[in-house]
Each structure stands twice: as structure tokens, then as C-alpha cells.
Amino acid sequence: MEIVILAVVIAVVALGAIGGLVVSSRKKKQLPPAPPSSPSVTAPPAEPQVGEEAETARPEPRRTVEEVELPEAPAPEETAPVVEPEEAAPAAPAEPEIEVPEPTAGRLVRLRARLSRSQNSLGKGLLTLLSREHLDEDTWEEIEDTLLTADVGVAPTQELVERLRERVKVLGTRTPEELRLLLREELLALVGTEADRSVHTEPGVGVNGEEKPGVVMVVGVNGTGKTTTTGKLARVLVADGKSVVLGAADTFRAAAADQLQTWGERVGARTVRGPEGGDPASIAFDAVKEGIAENADVVLIDTAGRLHTKTGLMDELGKVKRVVEKHGSVDEILLVLDATTGQNGLVQARVFAEVVNITGIVLTKLDGTAKGGIVVAVQRELGVPVKLVGLGEGADDLAPFEPEAFVDALIGD
Ligand SMILES: Nc1nc2c(ncn2[C@@H]2O[C@H](COP(=O)(O)OP(=O)(O)OP(=O)(O)O)[C@@H](O)[C@H]2O)c(=O)[nH]1
């Protein structure tokens, strides 16, 4: 009997051992593959050094697939969209983005570096000559030449040299600081600090007693930067809080109206335009009409300038002005001159002044010339102040002209 009981116990133990082996081998088969270690997260194992004993592998607790916890499924709103963003919804028609132009106050000072870079030869040249120990006749002649080369003009040059000679004589010994001050004062007197340099855009009263926007006509030879200046001026006005309507009355160059419209769209100003080669006067008339209807503050009219037929130009510009005046006064007529053309600019100025009553000058491309003296010459020629200067191709590179900042840029620091 005892033998039977012993045999049963041995049989049970043997069966149990075999069962355990089978289960253990099954478990091994069910083990998930070890997750690949991520180098950016996991620290690399220390390199075994020579002479170190190899460690025996520590047994790690193993888990079955069923035992491994899965990360929780993200809530529906957290789920990243599967579709590409542009496919997510039909694209709404893109609204043109309205730009906010730079404030106009102190623009000339901000752009001074650009101005002084191009004007170095005038101011610095004069200071170097005046600092010579002996100011003999040759030196005075050189001073005169420097001024003439910078397009200051004959009469203003002679005046300035005479004043400088007198004051240097009185001064006796000259320190560089005294000379700088003296030259600054004399150049400032030449440029003039008294003139009204504001661009007149105040609203007025129309012929029917209604409120009429300020009306500005922009005239000048094609290529001087007229359309660009009209666009930049729109930005200046918008920066100063005014609403603007543009009139594309330059129907001579087909792309001019597109160019102006693009400038307008950038600051939210409507552009009135007509058919290619259409009548500039009727476009200008419609632009002011639109300005009145929109209750705009200012209407800017870009015109064409064909110098090769002076009579044609006279007819056209005169007509534009007369037709616009059917609504009320034209408040400002700005002549755009390219500073790099020097004396040629003066010839243009003369012709335009005969055609219309210029009230202000815009000198463009002053960033590209050392002939800043044209400011003096053209003011003398027309008896009209420079009101704005172009100092680059950037949208906000048009600055109200400030004599002090200009002269400081001429002399340099
Ligand atoms: N460097 C520099 N370039 C300027 C300035 N003002 C205008 N320009 C450039 O001068 C070129 C001519 O300008 P436009 O405005 O097309 O000339 P426009 O007189 O209107 O000529 P039309 O449209 O044919 O009548 C453009 O490339 C302008 O970017 C400036 O102050 N500095």
C-alpha cells in the first residue's frame, strides 16, 4: 500500500514538472520583442573597460502581451487631423493684406545714414578744404568747384563762397568744430528754413457746397519716379491717419495704372482708372468724384509727362487741372524730379513750371547721388520748396524734407 502511495506521489510530481516546463516555454514564445531603445532618450550603456569583469546578466521580469499596458487612446478633440491643412477646408478667397506704413515723423533722420553715404563728397569735401592751414585762392576755387559739382548752381555757390570767406577771415584761427558749425549755418541759410514744406491736403468745400477731399496732382517726366512717389505718398498719408483715393491719370504707359493700383491695394486705397490710352482728364475728374462720394480725405492724381511735345504736355496737364477744378480747388501740384539727372532736372522743372503752377518739389533718388546741391538749385529756380525726398526703392523710403536733418547729413558726423 505504501509503495502504491509513493508511486502516485512520484507520478504527480513528475507530471507537475513536465506541465511547468511546457507553460514556461509557451511564455517565452509569447514575449513581445524588446522595444528598440531610443538613443535620444536612453542613456548609452557605459563602455566596458579593459580588465573589468563581465557581469552576469540579471534576470528581468518578463510580461506577456496581455500584461503590457497600452497608452490611453487620445480624446477625439486631441486627435491630430489626418488630412493636410490645405486639404482640410476649401480655401477662402485671400483678402489682400493691408499694410501699416511706417510713421512719417523723423523719417529723414532715420534715413540719414543712407543720405549721408551718398552725400559724403559734398559735406566732407568742403570741411576738408576749409580745414587747410592756408586758405589761398586755389583752395577757394576748389571749394567753388566742389559746390558746382554737387549741382548747387552758380549763383548760390558764389554767394556761399563769399559768405564763407568773410566769416573765416573774422574767425581767424579755425578749430574743426567752429568750421563745422559755420558751414552748417551757411548751408542751412542756403537751403532755407522759413518755407512752408507741408503737403497741403486739407479738405475743402466743393462747387456744390459739399465737403471735398484735398486734391494733389503729381507731375513729372516719366521715369523720374512719379508713380512710385504717388504710391509712397499715399502711404505717408495713410500713416498719418488719412483715407486716400488714387487717380491713375498716367494713361501713357500701360503698366502705370497697374503699378499705382498695387500701391493702393497695399494700404487699402481705391484706385480709379480708365481704359488704356484713355482721357487722363476724365480719369482725374472721376477720381475726385469718387473721393467726394467716399468721403475720402485726399485724392492723389498720377499724371503722364511727355516732354518731347511741350504743347501736348501743356494741353494735357492744363486740361487735367481745369477739369478737376470743376469739383473745386487743386490744393497741391507736386513736381517729381530725379536728383541723379542734375542740371537736366532743372530744365524739366522750368518746362513744367510754365505749364502748371507747381507748389512743391519731390526730389527722388537722393540715395543714389552725391549731388544733393540740386535741392538748393531747384528751389532757387522755381521759388518753390522741396517738400519730400525719395531715399530708396522701399515702400516707406519717402521722407518729409527737413532742412536741418538734410544739412547734417551733408556734413556728416
Ligand atoms: N533708388 C531710388 N529709386 C527710386 C526712388 N524713387 C523711385 N525710384 C525708382 O525709379 C524707377 C522709376 O519709377 P516710376 O515710379 O515707375 O517712374 P515714373 O516717373 O512713374 O514713370 P512712368 O510710370 O513711366 O511715368 C523705379 O524703379 C523706382 O523704384 C528713390 O527715391 N530712390
When the pLDDT of each residue in the chain is averaged and rounded to a whole number, the result is 78
Report how far residue 126's alpha carbon sits from residue 213's, in angstroms, rounded to the nearest whole number: 46
pLDDT(309) > 70: no
Distance 365 CA to ligand 1 centre (A): 8
Q: At 335, is the pLDDT very low, low, confident or very high (cuts 50, 70, 90)? A: very high
Nearest to 364 by CA among 331, 333, 397, 396: 397
Q: At 25, is the pLDDT very low, low, confident or very high (cuts 50, 70, 90)? A: very low
Burial class (CB in 10 A: 0-12, 13-18, 19+), 237: buried
pLDDT(144) > 60: yes
pLDDT greater at residue 302 or residue 80: 302
Instruction: List all residues whose CB is within 6 A of at least one atom of ligand 1.
Output: 220, 222-228, 250, 253, 256, 364-365, 367-368, 390-393, 397
Residue 60 backbone dihedrals phi, psi, to 5 degrees: -105, 145
Q: At 107, is the pLDDT very low, low, confident or very high (cuts 50, 70, 90)? A: confident
Quote the Cα angle for 401-107-365, to 5°: 60
Among 20-24, 178-182, 265-269, the range scoring the smallest mean pLDDT is 20-24
Instruction: Report the chain's C-alpha Rg in angstroms.
Output: 40
Q: Compute the average pLDDT of residues 229-239.
A: 94
Distance 283 CA to ligand 1 centre (A): 22
Q: At 79, is the pLDDT very low, low, confident or very high (cuts 50, 70, 90)? A: very low
On whether 315 is known to bind a ligand per the annotation, the reply is no
pLDDT tens profile 198-232 = 999 988 888 788 889 999 999 998 889 999 999 99
E strand intervals along 20-121:
none
pTM recorded for the entire structure = 0.75
pLDDT tens profile 350-406 = 988 988 999 999 999 998 887 888 999 999 999 999 999 999 999 999 999 999 988
Burial class (CB in 10 A: 0-12, 13-18, 19+), 383: exposed
Q: Compute the average pLDDT of residues 336-342.
A: 91
Distance 226 CA to ligand 1 centre (A): 6
Report how far residue 212's alpha carbon sits from residue 327's, in angstroms, rounded to the nearest whole number: 8
Distance 114 CA to ligand 1 centre (A): 17
Q: Compute the average pLDDT of residues 33-50.
A: 36
Contact 231, 263 (CB under 8 A): yes
Among 92-101, 216-225, 238-247, 396-405, the range scoring the smallest mean pLDDT is 92-101
On whether 223 is known to bind a ligand per the annotation, the reply is yes
Among 225-239, 269-283, 299-313, the range scoring the smallest mean pLDDT is 299-313
**Biggest CA-to-CA distance, the chain:** 148
Q: What ipTM describes this predicted complex?
A: 0.93
Structure confidence at residue 312 (pLDDT): 78
pLDDT greater at residue 23 or residue 140: 140
On whether 222 is known to bind a ligand per the annotation, the reply is yes
Would you state the cell numbers that stand for residue 330, as one nine-digit string?
A: 487743386
pLDDT(41) > 60: no
Q: Which residues share a beta bridge with 247? A: 272, 301
Q: SS in 3 state form for 64-77?
A: CCCCCCCCCCCCHH
Over pLDDT 70: what percentage of the chain? 74
On whether 20 is known to bind a ligand per the annotation, the reply is no
Nearest to 292 by CA among 334, 249, 243: 243
Atom of ligand 1 nearest to the CA of 224: 19
Structure confidence at residue 284 (pLDDT): 96
Report how far residue 189's alpha carbon sits from residue 403's, in angstroms, rounded to the nearest whole number: 9
Q: Which residues share a beta bridge with 338? A: 364
